[in-house]
């Protein structure tokens, strides 16, 4: 499972050229905007343009849907990003569905947030932690400070859980 947004773009471009057995790799998104898959704001579109190319085009992509119950689980790895407001996936601090996303046993939920022009679909914390490893990829000093002191941010719940190890990769 991988995140959308701008954070993982360079990582995806590098991964797409890795010579691994991509035909044995299933990929899904941790969140998606409620837009067509060819829309400029679509995470699926970004994924198809950056990761699902080159060698990685042999992988199998499964879209994240709100009715999906535990898509592709358990995961070997989840690559997740974090926003400057401490959100991960589409679990935003100003979302009315935040508590549900952090506590629900559902695979994915529909999410709204005043900080976005689009409603969204998000994997729940429970879904994200059903993996062998979580990789948190963050860029910038502001995000580093949040990761070092996550109190009061949604990311705190991901970092505090003990089900799955979290490795943080930070770059300026």
pLDDT tens per residue across span 127-152? 999 999 999 999 999 999 999 999 99
Q: Is 55 exposed, middle or buried (0-12, 13-18, 19+ CB in 10 A)?
A: middle
Confidence (pTM):
0.92
**Helix, strand, or coil here: 5?**
coil
Return the CATH number of 9-171, one of 3.40.50.1360, 3.40.190.10, 3.40.50.300, 3.30.70.20. 3.40.50.1360
User: Residue ranges of the domains in the chain?
Assistant: 9-171
Per-residue pLDDT of the chain (172 residues; tens, 9 = 90+): 999 888 888 899 999 999 999 999 999 999 999 999 999 999 999 999 999 999 999 999 998 876 655 556 788 999 999 999 999 999 999 999 999 999 999 889 999 999 889 999 999 999 999 999 999 999 999 999 999 999 999 999 999 999 999 999 999 8
Is 6 buried (19+), middle (13-18) or exposed (0-12) by CB count in 10 A? Answer: exposed
CB atoms inside a 10 Å sphere around CB 131: 20
């Amino acid at each position: 499972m991988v995140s959308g947004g701008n954070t993982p773009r360079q990582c995806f471009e590098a991964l797409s050229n890795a010579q691994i057995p991509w035909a044995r790799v299933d990929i899904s998104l941790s969140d998606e905007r409620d837009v067509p898959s060819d829309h400029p704001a679509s995470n699926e579109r970004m994924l198809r343009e950056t990761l699902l190319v080159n060698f990685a085009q042999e992988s199998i992509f499964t879209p994240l849907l709100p009715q999906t119950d535990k898509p592709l689980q358990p995961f070997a790895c989840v690559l997740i990003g974090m926003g400057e407001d401490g959100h991960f996936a589409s679990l935003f601090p100003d979302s009315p569905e935040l508590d549900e996303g952090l506590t629900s046993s559902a695979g994915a939920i529909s999410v709204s947030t005043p900080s976005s022009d689009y409603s969204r679909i998000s994997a729940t914390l429970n879904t994200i932690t059903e993996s062998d490893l979580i990789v948190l990829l963050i860029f910038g000093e502001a995000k580093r400070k949040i990761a070092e002191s996550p109190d009061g941010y949604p990311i705190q719940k991901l970092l505090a859980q003990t089900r799955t190890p979290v490795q943080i990769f930070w770059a300026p």
